[in-house]
Amino acid sequence: MSNLLEIVRSGLTTTQDQLNVVGNNIANVHSDGYHKQMGEQTPFVSGDNHPYYLDAQGGGGVFIRNVKRAYDQFAEREQRIAHSQHGLVNTSHAYLERLDQMFSLVGKKITNSMNVMFESTNQMIDLPSDISARENFLINATTVTENFQQFNRELYQHFRMVNEEIEKTVADVNSDAARISFLNNEISGRGSSNFGMLDERTALLNDLSQKVSTQILGFTEADVNVIAGRTQPIVLDNFAIELEIRQGQSFNENTTLHIKQDEKNLELDTSIIGGRLQALFTYRDEVLRPAVEAVDMVAIGLTQAFNDVQMQGFDLRGQVAKPMFSGINHKSMMFYRSQPHIDNEGGGLIGEVTIEDYTQITGDNYKLVVDKVPEFTQQGARQVIQINAHGEFRLINNNTGEVRYFDYPMTSPATTLELDALTEQPVMGLIGAPQMVDGFNFTLEHLDLLEKGDSFNLRPMRGAARHIELLLDYGEQVAVARGMATDVNSTQPLSVTLEAIDRNNADLQNRLLPGYQLSLTFQEATTPGLPHVLQVDVLDDKGFSVPFDPTNPTAAYPEIVVGSIEVPSVAVNTLLPTELNYFGLSLSLEGTLTNGDNLKLNVDFGEGDNLNAENFSELAHQKLMKNKKQTLFDMYEGTTTNIGTRAGITALNLETVQVSLDYAQGRVQETSGVNLDEEAADMVKYQQIYMATSRIMNTAGVIIEAMLALR
């Protein structure tokens, strides 16, 4: 009879425990990271540590040997991978969609205002002498500059926001890693039966996997090590390894990911870190920065193209026009184009990064590396040096990987030079043709402070949209009329530029009548003591010479002295530039003059002349960018289209990874999730068992009372 009571007691106790497990499952059905618990029920048999049991033919009751936590490590791993992919794609899509909206809505004002500005050139073509048409053009040009500046500010504000989000994500990763390491320690001390901590750690691992891809190493549930990306441990047992964001080693805003307090300054590869963090770095470096630089390139192309046309014409007063926009090599722009690497040991600097041909600018970034410093000896306080060996340098295109090698300075060893003078020499111009790298040039400063391994980063177009500025104040300053027409007949490269013009000059007014030309012919001196000269002639609209003095046809125009008055033993070409002033014209010549070279200049001006305004209008359709393969609008719209395409692709990818995540979470739910229908069925089952066992207890009580009554 006592054994019967023990069986009934064990049944009631075990059923109560099973009901507790079921109740706990139901209560935590929506708890993050919760895994279903199951009571492992088993009977008492012979040999069990129990005060009452029968032999194998009988029974000794029932008890819960263990409560298990439903856990499938393969399904959990699949879910973490899906979380990481979803975090990466979802973040990429969110930011690409936002940038697409910025270019499609806010940035669209740039192209719209450019269109309006080009349309206003047609008014100047139709009404070249109308001051209001010119004023309207300047108003539209002002709107263009303001839109460039505003959009640049918004893009950089967005850039800073992305950097702040990167820092926040790294802080969250560190927080998750610290909590996981704490739970590792607690679980290790209390045993793996602490299901609440195990569930919390599982939830943290899933949350961490959204931020970075994770690999879990460990042989037991209590022993968990976490690897971020493919190689970087962030949790080792009960120790968390912190990550941190550091100032960019190239440009300050290009922040990088490092191990905190790492003496070797180990930078982590963010292209394999996975999750949200990888998406943020990739978006910033491969999408946002190129987009900002594309806008800068359009600003550079627009300002220089209009300046080139403006400088070829005459304003309403007949004067040589001044630039319309701030120059692309203004100091405020060049300030942002270079930066020494943060770990440079030397004190050398990039002096100036100048754009020589904006049509060749690619939009790429570059890195200059010092492989060997120039060897020289310094003499005295004047910093005079004698060069003993050239420095060796590499210029690396960070976008294409192309490497160019060159020596600097390109003077012969043993040459004595003043150190300060070297800072003015363009580096690439000293190694022969081509003198430019993708349309830009740069100089080096403080050569004596360079160290081997120093590097410098160059972004030639950086900051252009931020500092674009309209320089014209009045409509009459717009060069609507064509400028000086030049006919150059030379066997060598030669160009002439009209720097200024005095329309009040009597010779200009009386001798260069409409349609007339000023003819300059170079005559090389052959007699010692005589200089090289430019012989002057004036041609009428039919090409016939106009005498200097009609009353004395033999009188010649005064000659222009050029070059040296010393005649060498062997005739040599005269190198320019040479400044010339004649008939109120200030001219500069650049190139090489050879005997017999002829220049014909026409400086006609009329208020009804609109030829230069037509040149302004044609800029809208000319292929000026990317080695003259794209128009200004092509450049901008291409960037907008690229961003929109990327956003569309990530939207499709997001649908795919969402399906994968749903499937992975479904698998985990199948094995570890709480099914309310199953739990309800178990509750009914255990309630019935509890009631049946209670009846047995009642029956046992009746039997005992009957047996006692027999006595």
The two tokens of residue 326 are 């701030």
Q: 493 and 446: one domain? A: no
Task: Provide the pLDDT for residue 45.
Answer: 64
Query: Residue 264 domain-assigned?
Result: no
Over residues 600-612, mean pLDDT:
89
The two tokens of residue 583 are 């008939």
Query: Residue 692 domain-assigned?
Result: yes
Q: 417 and 493: one domain? A: no
CA 473 centroid distance within chain: 35
Q: 488 and 585: one domain? A: yes
More confident call, 109 vs 386: 109
Q: 497 and 450: one domain? A: no
Q: What are phi and psi of 461, to 5 degrees?
A: -100, 0
Q: Tens digit of pLDDT for each residue in 656-692?
A: 999 998 888 888 777 776 777 776 776 777 777 777 7
The two tokens of residue 486 are 């030049």
Query: Residue 593 domain-assigned?
Result: yes
The two tokens of residue 174 are 């560190």
Last residue of a domain, one of 411, 445, 460: 460
Q: What are phi and psi of 261, to 5 degrees?
A: 60, 30
Nearest-angstrom CA–CA distance, 103 and 295:
10
Q: 491 and 445: one domain? A: no
Q: Tens digit of pLDDT for each residue in 334-364?
A: 878 888 888 888 887 877 888 988 999 888 8
H or E segment to which residue 145 belongs? helix 131-190
Q: Are 369 and 425 in contact (CB under 8 A)?
A: no
Q: 513 and 592: one domain? A: yes
Q: 30 and 63: one domain? A: yes
Sign of torsion over alpha carbons 183, 186, 190, 194: negative
Task: Provide the pLDDT for residue 591.
Answer: 82
Task: Provide the pLDDT for residue 571.
Answer: 47
Q: 348 and 429: one domain? A: yes
Nearest-angstrom CA–CA distance, 118 and 116:
5
User: What's the whole-model pTM score?
Assistant: 0.81
Query: Residue 329 domain-assigned?
Result: no
Q: 451 and 535: one domain? A: no
Please tell me the total count of domains within the chain: 3
Average pLDDT over the chain reads 83
Domain of residue 376, residue span: 338-460
Q: 344 and 405: one domain? A: yes
The two tokens of residue 103 are 């270019």
Q: 585 and 679: one domain? A: no
Query: Residue 6 domain-assigned?
Result: yes
Q: Tens digit of pLDDT for each residue in 173-193?
A: 999 999 998 888 888 776 656
Q: What are phi and psi of 12, to 5 degrees?
A: -65, -45
Query: Residue 95 domain-assigned?
Result: no
Instruction: Report CA-CA distances (Å) from 272 to 67, 233, 301, 560.
Output: 40, 13, 37, 69
Last residue of a domain, one of 604, 626, 641: 604
Band the pLDDT of 136: cuts 50, 70, 90. very high
Q: Tens digit of pLDDT for each residue in 149-168?
A: 999 999 999 999 999 999 99
Of residues 456, 464, 603, 413, the one with CA closest to residue 520? 603
Q: 505 and 593: one domain? A: yes
- Exposed, middle or buried, 155 (CB in 10 Å: 0-12/13-18/19+)? buried
Sign of torsion over alpha carbons 499, 505, 510, 511: negative
- Alpha helices in 361-448, H assignment, sequence order: 419-422
Q: Tens digit of pLDDT for each residue in 432-475?
A: 433 568 888 888 877 778 889 998 888 888 888 988 999 999 99
Residue 403 per-residue DSSP state: E
Query: Residue 477 domain-assigned?
Result: no
Q: Is 300 helix (H, G, I), strand (E, B) or coil?
A: helix
- Exposed, middle or buried, 193 (CB in 10 Å: 0-12/13-18/19+)? middle
Last residue of a domain, one of 604, 633, 658: 604
Residue 30 per-residue DSSP state: T
Query: Residue 640 domain-assigned?
Result: no
Contacts of 58 (CB under 8 A, 6+ apart): 3
